[in-house]
Amino acid sequence: MSEALEIDIACIGFGPATAGFLYTLNRAMQADAELAAAAPMVVCYERADDIAFGVSGMVTRARGIRASIPDLDPASIPMAARVASERVVYLKDPFGASRRSAALKMADLAIHNDLLAAELPYIPPFLHKSDGFVLSMGQFLQFVGGEIMGGGMLQIWPACAVTEALIEDGGVCGVRLGGQGMDVRARLVVVGDGPVGAVGRQLDTVFGMPEGHHYREWAVGMKMVVDLADGVDLEPGTVIHTFGFPEPEIFGFLYAHPDRVVTAGIFVPSWMRSPVRTSYRYLQHFIQHPYLWRYLQGGRLRAWGAKSLQESGQRGEPKLVGNGYARIGEGSGSTNVLTGSGVDEAWTTGTQLAEGVIELLREGAPFTRENLDRAYVSRRRASWVEEEGRVAAKSRDGFHHGVLPGLLGMALSGLTAGRVSMPGEPQPLMDLHSYYRERIPAAEIDRIVSECGRRGAPCHDALMDHCGWPPIAYDGQLLVSHQDALLMGGKVQGAAGYEDHVSFRDASRCAACSARVCIEICSGQAITPAPSGVPAFDREKCVHCGACLWNCTNVSFQAAPGGLHSTEN
């Protein structure tokens, strides 16, 4: 181990929360000569190879962002547009291949139009984003990062993964950087490494979760950025949210950016009990639904990506502060699971921490748990993020019983300000035979599993083909193989010379596992069957979405540099 560096504040991860923190801190240092003269040394360590690799084309009300940047002009940020219109659409299954309840089959029978869809006549107020923006997370972070670094006082280091926090005397005193194994000692560690961040998980293990809090609900979000074909126009700021297809549990979206660019994607939730949770294949069917294909046909894939979302919301809130550390953003339970909003909330928690840190710096007070509690947590507790998070806390519990109870539960929570909700507890994942009992004979499932294992391929394609999902007619532009998506849209990279960051703890558990959900859900086909029974991992294909982590407790997922390499996601 080489000699430790010493700085004042170390930030982990450059996402919206840390961006909000650094933006607010930078602005205060620019405006306050005394604070600037004290010049705390602040370094933000980001795993990805650039500062702009957030994975989400997004729509946000941007209340917190606009509070920080009152004169925010979408014209100054590529791919940004004001929300122009919103639709919520039920999509009928054109193939009869999805696994639908009787109620949804009835709903499908009632839809006869050419688009095989029904636009909802009413959108509940809590789902509206009408005063907000459609943004590219990557471009927004690039814009904010430029502002931060332009000040010359704060540093953001890409391609620098923090593998763990340094813990001494019951508190955090710095971070360990991957690769060189270098330690950086810091007075304050700002943990903004997202829902599957290595440091966040380490702190949960060491310090424990608050009583009753947990990470039980997850989703993997996968999306693509598409150049529309000539002659296809969609008003910038158009926001479409969908449900019903490709599976009832999978929600989808399409957001229109300026210059005939759109983002389309899906969320595959943990409460979907299928062991075949392939986001990529489902995404390809989603974009080809007639309601969306009228816009997307002839388009060209321009970027692609995936990430995990922590869907437990406020009940997934860890201990927010301790001696020497504070947690912000999605990994701190800030996402509002009722409104489907996370970026603005994450940003706001970052600004709240920055305001608290500025207060403590001016006081000359140390970053103890008590001081951070007073300066940061109290601000958060008094804010709209907390208040609305409380309303949303139990809003999705109904989904554990199915889609319709889930939607009803959301409506109840949203319309009663959280006073009434639909209770529900997570159900275990179904095994392949149970899930496909009515569709595929057991012997055929066994044959498919065996055959795919021999080929080193996931099973989802063969199983879905068997259920009537039509083959994907690759066009080399938008409908491309999963591997081509990595090359054309994701630019996935894994720097040479580093150890595998995904491994499997207990080989015997892998050998005995029949579902292999880690393989099926892998967003980059980086985890594949191997002869030993323990899946093979190819770090050059890993997009660091972390879906393997919450789909199997036998997976070890460490911090490492690399991953997606696109600034448009």
Contact residues for other proteins, defined by CB under 8 A: 2-3, 5, 49-52, 78-79, 139, 142, 145-146, 149-150, 152, 155-160, 177, 179-180, 182, 184, 302, 476, 480-481, 483-484, 487-488, 491, 493, 495-497, 538, 561, 565-568
Judge contact between 186 and 9, C-beta under 8 A: yes
Nearer to other proteins, 113 or 483 (CB): 483
Of 52 and 240, nearer to other proteins (C-beta) is: 52
CB-wise, 98 or 525, nearer to other proteins?
525
Question: Which residues contact residue 26 at a Cβ distance below 8 angstroms, ignoring those fewer than 6 apart?
Answer: 147, 148, 151, 153, 154
CB of 327 to other proteins, least distance (A): 23
What beta strand segments (E) does 323-408 contain?
A: 325-327
User: For residues 52 and 250, which CB has a smaller minimum distance to other proteins in the complex?
Assistant: 52
CA pair distance 293, 91, nearest whole angstrom: 12
**Nearest residue to 271 via CA among 391, 102, 424:** 424
Comparing CA positions, the residue from 269, 239, 282, 231 lying closest to residue 257 is: 239
CB of 493 to other proteins, least distance (A): 7
Q: Is 213 exposed, middle or buried (0-12, 13-18, 19+ CB in 10 A)?
A: middle
Cross-strand partners of 256: 262
Nearer to other proteins, 44 or 272 (CB): 44
504, 510 Cβ separation under 8 angstroms: yes
CB of 113 to other proteins, least distance (A): 36
Rounded CA gap, 529 and 453, in Å?
Answer: 5
Q: How far is the CB of 53 from other proteins (least distance, A)?
A: 8
Nearer to other proteins, 149 or 229 (CB): 149
Q: Distance of alpha carbon 303 from its chain centroid, rounded?
A: 16
In the complex, least distance from residue 237 CB atom to other proteins, rounded to whole angstroms: 19
Least CB distance to other proteins at residue 498 (A): 8
Q: Which is nearer to other proteins, 414 or 529 (CB)?
A: 529
Backbone angles phi, psi at 535, to 5 degrees: -55, 150
At its nearest, how many Å lie between other proteins and the CB of residue 93? 30
Residue among 440 and 486 whose Cβ is closer to other proteins? 486
Q: Which pair of tokens denotes residue 146?
A: 């430029």
Q: Which residue has the tokens 């899930």?
A: 435
CB of 87 to other proteins, least distance (A): 27
**Pairing of the two strands 325-327 and 321-322:** antiparallel
Instruction: Find tokens 């409380």 and name the residue.
Output: 390
**Nearest residue (CB) to other proteins, 480 versus 518:** 480
Tokens representing 441 are: 């004979």
* Least distance to other proteins, CB of residue 343, Å: 19
Report angle CA 135, 139, 141 to the nearest 5 degrees. 100
